[in-house]
Amino acid sequence: MSDMIFRLGEKKYRVESDWAEDSSRQYINNVSAVSSDEEGYIYVLQRSDPFMLVFNSNGELVDQWSDVEIKDGHYLEINREGEVYVVERDHHRIIVFNRQGEVLRMVGNQHNPGNTGEPFNHPTDIAFSRRGDFFVSDGYGNAHIHHFNRDGEWINTWGGLGTGEGSLSTPHAVMLDRNERVLVADRENNRVQIFDQSGSYLKELSNVFHPMDICQDREGFIYVTDQVPSLHVFNSDDAFIGRCRTLGTFGHGVAVDVHGDIYIAEMLPDGITKLIGI
């Protein structure tokens, strides 16, 4: 058991840097992202083969997905139907899997990156509305957010390279909160911008240095990893209430499971850190 205790606001956590079982650590290589589903399984995306590791909440490896063609998974998200969406940055596409790791469909074309403002040019992340629409942060080649309906039909695009309100510079992650606002980790502008679903600027969360990933728990708390390296927490009114450090050079990904425990996809060195509420 770890003897490290971290605090985020009023909550304290026991730090488990060796959460994954020993026998699975041979597969952990170039970790990129982490997510959890409604059944409590933890999905770890990485830029290596196998590209996906699936754990239970005790850190036991229960599945692994291999595909040598998937080389640059950046972030992933799981929709309400349990489909797993992997955003593959350098192949300019989103690959949709079922829970058994079988490919269902793709959005985007790896051989035809979008022009300025057009999907996709090194996309980074995806998020879903309650009605099933999805929003994609795009990303390294573009500086835009794209809105699609649940059938994958394009609805709207906003953003553009810049530093002003509504402009973006490396939109690195996107999330829809429980109020259905669109939160974007605007990495090079050192902020998280908040929009409505039409792309109108609402406000921003500041005091983050190169924000990497963003998620929200069931109580409404918002978590942001950055390159300090640290994990920030904001309450449901968007007020900053605390932070702790992450254990890698930076936490590239963050997720909160159904129990309120936090998982951080660490880079340099690779690993998954679990913060268990106490």
Tell me, what CATH number does 97's domain have? Answer: 2.120.10.30
pLDDT surpassing 90 at residue 25: no
> Which pLDDT value is given to residue 2?
72
pLDDT over 90, % of the chain: 97
- CB neighbours (10 Å) of residue 147? 18
Contacts with 232 (C-beta within 8 Å, 6 or more apart), sequence order: 207, 208, 223, 224, 225, 226, 240, 242, 243
Distance (Å) of CA 84 to CA 72, 79, 148, 184, 245: 16, 7, 17, 20, 29
User: Please, which residues bridge with residue 216 across strands?
Assistant: 222
User: Please, which residues bridge with residue 87 across strands?
Assistant: 75, 94
pLDDT digit string (tens) for 102-152?
999 999 999 999 999 999 999 999 999 999 999 999 999 999 999 999 999
Alpha-carbon distance 166 to 200, whole Å?
7
Q: What are phi and psi of 136, to 5 degrees?
A: -120, 130
> Which pLDDT value is given to residue 150?
93
- CB neighbours (10 Å) of residue 78? 19
pLDDT surpassing 60 at residue 181: yes
> Which pLDDT value is given to residue 1?
57
Count how many domains the chain has: 1
pLDDT digit string (tens) for 34-57?
999 999 999 999 999 999 999 999
Residue span of the structural domain in which 62 resides: 5-277
